Amino acid sequence: MKWKHFLIGAACGLATGWLVQTFFHNNQLLSSEEVIKKVKDSLKTEGKISGSWIITKPETLERDLITYQVYRGGITKLTDNDEINMEFLADAKTGTILEVEKI
């Protein structure tokens, strides 16, 4: 076997492996634990978080003709001795908060 053919085959195998890994990594959803951590980190700047919850099964949300996989959850914060309850929707792929509503 010639070294040239071996190196070409090895390079093709590495490139294919890298493409497959990139494809699966980009289409993978974050776990609900990762998302709640991101949400808590972004909302804790305005006060101390005393409680949180998240539904572990993502749901489908269509907004402005775009379909998202989202996690629904809630946060309880303490600000100036006041307790504020909020519900949120977060993108399951990125953890980005799409909506926050005080209840």
pLDDT tens, residue by residue, 41-94: 988 877 789 899 999 999 999 988 989 899 999 999 988 778 889 999 999 998
Question: Structure pTM?
Answer: 0.70
Closest CA to 92 of 53, 24, 39, 41: 39
Domain 31-102, classified CATH 3.40.50.300, yes or no = no
The answer, yes or no, to whether residue 3 has pLDDT greater than 90, is: no
**Would you state the torsion angle of the CA atoms of residues 41, 44, 50, 51, taken in this order, to the nearest 10 degrees?**
-40
Task: Please state the domain extents for the chain.
Answer: 1-29, 31-102
Q: Are 90 and 39 in contact (CB under 8 A)?
A: yes
